[in-house]
Homo-oligomer: A and B are copies of this chain.
Amino acid sequence: MPTAVGRTCWVIAEGYIPGNSHGTEPQMTSHETACILNASPTDAHIRITLYFSDRDPVGPYRITVPALRTHHVRFNDLDDPAPVPRDTDYASIIDSDVPVVVQHTRLDSRQSELALLSTVAFPA
């Protein structure tokens, strides 16, 4: 089993939380997730910075992903220093003090049937 895999800086250029949803909360709520894996033996201290089209960057949002754990961060739930606006284009940079791996996923339930997208983030 590897002791630390990944990189310390990741970029998700596509960000957008649809403002409405169909179906049972919270599973079917339209949401965006940054899935972070910390396979190292050390806790990872993560800082997320959000970028917008028409205002200054917001952040850092601080999250700890314990050693040997994964954490699927819902952007919908971020609220310190500010909640993430809905129906708004954004992008994010995710920094970590130990190597991690980041994958980006969106569930869009604006219509009655859901749609999904996912991609590994860009390792900067």
Residues of A that sit less than 8 Å from B by CB: 1-2, 5-6, 9, 11-16, 23, 27-28, 33, 35-37, 39, 47, 49, 51-54, 56-57, 59-60, 68-72, 87, 89-91, 93, 95, 101-106, 108, 110-124
Closest Cβ of chain B to A70, distance in Å, is 4
Could you tell me if B11 and A36 are in contact, using CB atoms closer than 8 angstroms?
A: no
Query: B6 touching A11 by the CB < 8 A rule?
Result: yes
Give the distance in Å from the alpha carbon of A118 to the alpha carbon of B120 in the complex. Answer: 9
With A6-B11, A13-B101, A124-B101 as given contacts, are A1 and B118 in contact (CB-CB < 8 Å)?
Answer: no
Cα–Cα distance between A89 and B35 once the two chains are bound (Å): 9
Note all chain B residues with C-beta closer than 8 A to A110: 27-28, 114
Asked whether B13 lies within 8 Å of A91 as measured between CB atoms, the reply is: no
Does A93 lie within 8 Å of B52, measured CB to CB?
Answer: no
